[in-house]
Amino acid sequence: MDTPCPGPSPAACWLTIADLHANNALQFASATGKFHAPMHSQATADPVPLLSARALAFSRNEEPIFGPIDFSLHAGEVVLIEGDNGSGKTTLLKVLSGLLLPSSGTIELHGETLTMSRLSQQVALMGHLPGLKADLTALENLEFSIGVFGLRAGNTPLLALASLGLQGYEHVAVRLLSAGQKKRVALARLLLVPAALWLLDEPYANLDKEGIDLVNRLLEAHARRGGAALITSHGAYAFTSGSPRRLPLRPAA
């Protein structure tokens, strides 16, 4: 069968929010470690994970949204967080990016604790909203992001747009682009900014089959370069769909 992620694909671990809610954090951590150890020697060779969360929990109005969870993400890993609507996937990404203050627990990036007063250069978040100004062109939007976040070596906005199949749209106002094209511009931003950790909220939404393949190729390339990504998806499609590396992690009852 045609897997959407050919070649040396990064291990995707199928992490459900149900698992996140379960308090057996230790078991989850060990399960991840056990699974990844033989596949990614690089991940275990590097003792400091790119991202690690300890006893991370968030609650709103005393209602626990998720957690407490423990996990770590090493360079070269792509982890898929799967859960139903309202299970706290988006909130988890917002907390990890530093937009929201966790109710308890700590987040470490490269071993350094993340604080709200100074966020890391290493994290890029792509939320539900594309984060593009409708009246600016795709190129101008990307230039703004480069000014704020910086530029990855060996890339330019034009190259990034071309690699996402948006040649010819560089100077078109974003307002005139379709939802899928806007998503591609937002993805181009990820390619440009020098962040090692991508936090992608529903990266497959609004994309056609070709676009989904494209996202998967981007994720692979990013992981091969030593980056890491955390993706949410509420559907059982896309990155892990039909993939033999699909990894449902189920806690023991």
| Binding of residue 112 to another protein (CB under 8 A) | no
Q: Which of 92, 123, 191, 200 binds another protein (CB under 8 A)?
A: 123
| Binding of residue 121 to another protein (CB under 8 A) | yes
Q: What is the chain's Cα-based Rg? A: 18
Q: Which of 13, 17, 53, 146 binds another protein (CB under 8 A)?
A: 146
Contact set for another protein, span 164-223 (CB under 8 A): 173, 194
| Binding of residue 106 to another protein (CB under 8 A) | no
Residue with tokens 């190729």: 217
Tell me the window of 19-27, 55-63, 81-89, 160-168 that interacts with another protein (CB under 8 A): 55-63
Q: Residue 193's CB: how many other CB atoms inside 10 A?
A: 20
Edge-to-edge strands, sheet with 197-201: 12-16, 78-82, 228-233, 197-201, 123-126
| Binding of residue 98 to another protein (CB under 8 A) | yes
Q: Which tokens hold the place of 129?
A: 């909203």
Q: How far is the CB of 117 from another protein (least distance, A)?
A: 8
Helices (H), 22-112: 25-39, 41-45, 89-97
Cβ proximity to another protein, 13 vs 56, nearer residue:
56
Please measure the distance between the N-terminal and C-terminal CA atoms of the chain and give it in whole angstroms.
Answer: 33
Q: How far is the CB of 248 from another protein (least distance, A)?
A: 31
Tell me the window of 43-51, 58-66, 157-165, 212-220 that interacts with another protein (CB under 8 A): 58-66
Footprint on this chain of another protein (rule: CB under 8 A): 60-63, 97-101, 116-121, 123, 125, 127-136, 140, 143-153, 173, 194
